[in-house]
Structure 1
Amino acid sequence: MKELFRKIQPHSGKILASFLLIFFIFLVYNLYQAPVVGIEEKFVYLLKKYGYIILFIWSMLEGEAGLVMAGLLSHAGDMNLYIAIFVAGLGGFAGDQVYFYIGRFNKSYVHKKFRGQRRKFAFAHLLLKKHGWPIIFVQRYMYGMRTIIPISIGLTRYSARMFAFINLLSAWCWAALTIVPVWYFGDEILVVLEWAKEHWYLAISIALVLGGSIVYYFNKATKKVEKGSKNENQFD
C-alpha cells in the first residue's frame, strides 16, 4: 500500500484535474436529468440530493461559496450541521494535501508552471521561516496565497506528517467559522438573497464594489507584509 501511495503522489495534480473533470460531467448530466422544471429548481434539487458530495469537491477548491451553501442547507434542515462541517473540512484538507504533494514531487513542473509567481513563493518561504507552523493554519485566509503556500511548503523539507496534522485542524476550523454563522443567521441571509434576486442590478453593483475593495485591501496588505519581511530579512 505504501509503495502504491508513493507512485500516486507524483501525479497528484493530474489525478485531481481528472477527478474534477469527471465530477463536472457528473453534475451536468444529473442537472439535465433532474425531475423538476426550471434551472433554479434543478440546482436546488441537485444540492439537496448530492449536497455532501458537492460540498466536499467545492471545499477542495477552497470556495467559501460552497460553505455558505452548506450553512443555508443546514439552516433549512436539508443538511446536518456537524456532518457538513466535517465533510467541508475534509475537502479543504484534501485540496491542500494535493497542492503540498505537487510541490513535494513535481518541483521542476512547479518552477516552470509558476515562473511568474516567484515573488510569492519567496514570500511564502519567508513567512514559513519567520512564523513556522501558524502560517499553515492561517494560509486559508490569505488572499492570493492559498494555493502558493501549500505548494511552497511542499518544496521545502518540512515534515509531511506535521503539515497534514496542522492542515486538518485548520480545515475544520475554516469550515466551522464559515458554516456556523451562516447556519445561525440563515433567515436574515435568505432575506438578503431574495432582495438581491429581485434587485439583481443593484446587487451586482454592490458585489463588485465590495469585492473590489476586499481584493484591493488584501493585495495592499500582502505587499506591505512582504516588504516588511524583506526589510527584516536584510538585517538578519
Structure 2
Amino acid sequence: MSFQELILTYGYPMLFVGVLIESEAVLLIGVYLAQQGYFSLPTVIGVAAFSSFVAAQLCFFIGHRYGATFLVKRPTWQLRFSRVQRLMNRFGVGLVLGFRVIYGLRGVIPAAIGLADYSRLVFIGLNAMGALLWALLVGLAGGSLVQMAEKLPNHPQVLILVLGGLILCGGMYQFYRHVKRKKSVSTELTH
C-alpha cells in the first residue's frame, strides 16, 4: 500500500503522523489530494501545522528535560549544540520562527533551544506561529507547483531527467556537507 493510499484510507490522522515523520513530502501529498477533492486544503494545512508544532514541542521538551545528560555522553552532539547556540545568538527569534527550513537540524534546534533554558511560553507562541507559517508557505507553494506540473506536456522522459538531475545535485550537496562536517568535527575533537 502506497503512502497516498494510506492517507486516503486513514485520512487526517495519517496525515498528522506522516507530517511528524516526513514533513514537507507528506504535506505536499496532502495538498495534492486536497486539489483532487479528497481533502479540504485549509484542514490539510491546519493538520500539518499542528503536527509540526507537536514535533517541535516534543523536541523542545526533550532538550529541556534531558539535554544536559545527553550532551555529556555525546561529544559530537556538543558541537551541534554549539552551532545552534551561535545561530540563536545571531538570529534569535528568527531562528525559532524559521528553523523548519533548515534541513537536518529540525529536531536539533528545538532541543538545543530547550537545553538553553529558553522561555517555554515564548517558545510555544513562536513555535505555533512558525508552524502555521511553514504549513501555509509549503502548502500553498506546493499547491502552485502541482498545478504547474499538471500543465506541463506529458513527456515522462524529460520529467525523469529533471528529477534525476535534482536528486543528483541534492546528493552531491549532501555528500559535500558530510565531508566538510567530518573534517570540522575531527579538527575540533583533536584540538
Q: Deviations over 1:70-129 (max 9, x none)?
A: 110111011101011110000000001000010111134421564322222101112212
Q: Distance in 1 between matches of 2:53 and 2:22?
A: 9
In 2, are the aligned partners of 1:75 and 1:184 still within 8 Å (CA)?
Answer: no
- TM-score, with length taken from structure 1: 0.65
Q: How does 1:1-236 map to 2 (within 5 A)?
A: 39=1, 43-61=3-21, 63-112=23-72, 114-190=74-150, 202=161, 205-213=164-172, 215=174, 219=177
Q: Distance in 2 between matches of 1:74 and 1:206?
A: 28
Q: Distance in 1 between matches of 2:22 and 2:74?
A: 19
Q: Distance in 2 between matches of 1:130 and 1:184?
A: 33
Q: Distance in 2 between matches of 1:214 and 1:179?
A: 25
Identity %: 26
Letter in 2 for 1:215: Q
Q: Distance in 2 between matches of 1:191 and 1:109?
A: 53
Paired residue secondary structure (1:57): helix
Q: Distance in 2 between matches of 1:132 and 1:94?
A: 21
Q: CA deviation at 1:200?
A: 9.0
- TM-score, with length taken from structure 2: 0.79
Q: Distance in 2 between matches of 1:129 and 1:44?
A: 41
**How many residues of Structure 1 are paired with residues of Structure 2 in the alignment?**
180
In 2, are the aligned partners of 1:85 and 1:175 still within 8 Å (CA)?
Answer: yes
Letter in 2 for 1:119: L
Letter in 1 for 2:53: F
Paired residue secondary structure (1:118): helix
In 2, are the aligned partners of 1:70 and 1:79 still within 8 Å (CA)?
Answer: yes
CA gap of 1:44–1:140, structure 2 versus 1, over 3 A, is closer
In 2, are the aligned partners of 1:124 and 1:152 still within 8 Å (CA)?
Answer: yes
Q: Distance in 1 between matches of 2:169 and 2:121?
A: 38
Q: CA deviation at 1:61?
A: 3.0
In structure 2, what is the equivalent of residue 8 of structure 1? Answer: none
Q: Deviations over 1:123-167 (max 9, x none)?
A: 111221232211111111112221111111111121111101101
CA gap of 1:109–1:60, structure 2 versus 1, over 3 A, is farther
In 2, are the aligned partners of 1:61 and 1:92 still within 8 Å (CA)?
Answer: no
Paired residue secondary structure (2:14): helix
Cα RMSD, aligned residues only: 3.1
Paired residue secondary structure (1:61): helix
Gaps spanning 5+ residues in structure 2: where?
182-191
Q: Distance in 2 between matches of 1:44 and 1:88?
A: 15
Paired residue secondary structure (2:38): coil
In structure 2, what is the equivalent of residue 14 of structure 1? Answer: none
Paired residue secondary structure (2:117): coil
In 2, are the aligned partners of 1:102 and 1:110 still within 8 Å (CA)?
Answer: no
Paired residue secondary structure (1:106): helix
